[in-house]
Structure 1
Amino acid sequence: MTTTFFLVRHAVHGLLDRVLVGRSPGVSLSDLGRRQAAALAERLARESLTAVHASPRERAQETAHPIAATTGRPVTIAPDLDEIDVGEWTGRSFDEMSDDPRWQAWNSARASARTPGGESMREVQDRVVRLLGRLSAVHPDGRIAAVSHGDVIRAALLHYLGLGLDAYDRIEVSPAGVSTVVVGPWGAKILSLNERVAA
């Protein structure tokens, strides 16, 4: 008995690559992001999904709802798929933080660094892997779309690949990218990494 997870990064929003939005409210998909979400829905419609789970962030919900609509499954909000809590960095531009030694440490030592007033990468990994384990137990033959965020998905993939958290930048997780993982009592297997279904 195996559970197949389609780990979906939310589609593009207007602040991407400019601002560390974190858990900022009101960050919605751009026009391109909505087109990507529609393409994701078309791609995943042929996967016979049994459930759709998503982060509570608006951009993840807006990505998940078209997937749910094409598969006839409701969106279940999963707090453990939420974006990293980046604490006091929330809403700051990447340019603004470039000289902050804490930011430099975060980007060079993910296994040991912590966001100021927020989460560590280890805490993020623990919560997302724990969630996928629970869902695998509840849906032993399920096919589940899990819509989340780049580093959250990276944390899960690193766990299943047996790599340390400092290897986070060895895996590309693009907006609207899909990585497929099969999980069972025997362990886990990566079927695909960062499948791009939309430009």
Structure 2
Amino acid sequence: MTMILLARHGNHAEVGRVLSGRSEIALDARGRAEAAALARWIGARPLAAVHASPRRRTRETAAALGRPVITAPALDEIEFGDFTGRSFAALESDTDWHRWNAERETARCPGGETMGEAAARALDYLWTLPDTGSPVLCVTHCDVIRGIVAQLLGLPFARMFQIGCDPGSVSTVVLAPGDTRIVAINERPQV
């Protein structure tokens, strides 16, 4: 049985305004405070390992713990393709954007991947993590976490927006053959 702490990276200047995708945007002051809060929340708790997506914002969040970080491409942000770097206001008039959000099970981002592909690669990676008796911290991205949780709950991706996932939050899952559980969703360490 492997306990996995899925942490969303801290805040950055584009959160809620721009679809940052696989950009290399850094944490802002609030995001650095959220990363520090995560480090305090983890404290001296034994961790088997710290894994992070290759994006700068996740690596900065993980680095706040002061422990070695394993870069895990499988935890990377969704490849949003042509949507990357566009404001959410601009995407509102894009029919491909609306189709992708309405058909997340099967629709592909133009030049990118499907939600199913992104969630499957991340969840497949989590299943490879060994059970060492201590939790594993994986710092990744909002939709990746929502996709993992939706898959574990058997929810269609169209319902994943009902799963909270704030910057700097932690969702905890336990993976074991025949005994997969969601322990907590969207826990917010105090900043």
Aligned-residue Cα RMSD (Å) equals: 1.2
Following the alignment from structure 2 to structure 1, what is the Cα–Cα distance between the partners of residues 47 and 188?
A: 19
CA contact (8 A) 1:110 1:168 kept: no
Following the alignment from structure 1 to structure 2, what is the Cα–Cα distance between the partners of residues 197 and 6?
A: 13
Higher helix share: 1
Segment of structure 1 superposing worse, 104-113 or 148-157: 104-113
Q: Given residue 195 of structure 1, which amino acid in structure 2 is its aligned partner?
A: E
Following the alignment from structure 1 to structure 2, what is the Cα–Cα distance between the partners of residues 142 and 183?
A: 13
C-alpha distance after superposition, 1:76-110 (max 9, x if no partner): 00000000000011111111111111111122221
Higher strand share: 1
- Which of structure 1's runs of 4+ aligned residues deviate more than 4 A? none
Following the alignment from structure 1 to structure 2, what is the Cα–Cα distance between the partners of residues 113 and 46?
A: 43
CA contact (8 A) 2:5 2:172 kept: yes
Following the alignment from structure 1 to structure 2, what is the Cα–Cα distance between the partners of residues 162 and 111?
A: 12
C-alpha distance after superposition, 1:123-164 (max 9, x if no partner): 0111011000001xx235341000000000011101111111
C-alpha distance after superposition, 1:49-98 (max 9, x if no partner): 1100000000000000112x1xxx31000000000000011111111111
State percent identity of aligned pairs: 43
- Report the CA distance between 1:112 and its aligned residue: 2.0
Q: Please tell me whether residue 194 in structure 1 is matched to residue 175 in structure 2.
A: no
Number of the residue aligned with 1:28 = 26
Q: Please tell me whether residue 131 in structure 1 is matched to residue 130 in structure 2.
A: no
Aligned residues: 191
Give the 5 Å matches for 1:51-130: 51-67=49-65, 69=66, 73-130=67-124
In the alignment, structure 2 segments of 5+ residues that lack a partner are: none
Alignment match of 1:48 (pick from 39, 46, 56): 46
Q: Given residue 79 of structure 2, which amino acid in structure 1 is its aligned partner?
A: D
Following the alignment from structure 2 to structure 1, what is the Cα–Cα distance between the partners of residues 131 and 50?
A: 12
Q: Given residue 84 of structure 2, which amino acid in structure 1 is its aligned partner?
A: T
In the alignment, structure 1 segments of 5+ residues that lack a partner are: none
Number of the residue aligned with 2:154 = 162
C-alpha distance after superposition, 1:22-61 (max 9, x if no partner): 0113x00000110110000010124311100000000000
Q: Secondary structure at the match of 1:52?
A: strand
Segment of structure 1 superposing worse, 42-51 or 12-21: 42-51
Q: Given residue 97 of structure 1, which amino acid in structure 2 is its aligned partner?
A: L
Following the alignment from structure 1 to structure 2, what is the Cα–Cα distance between the partners of residues 9 and 153?
A: 8
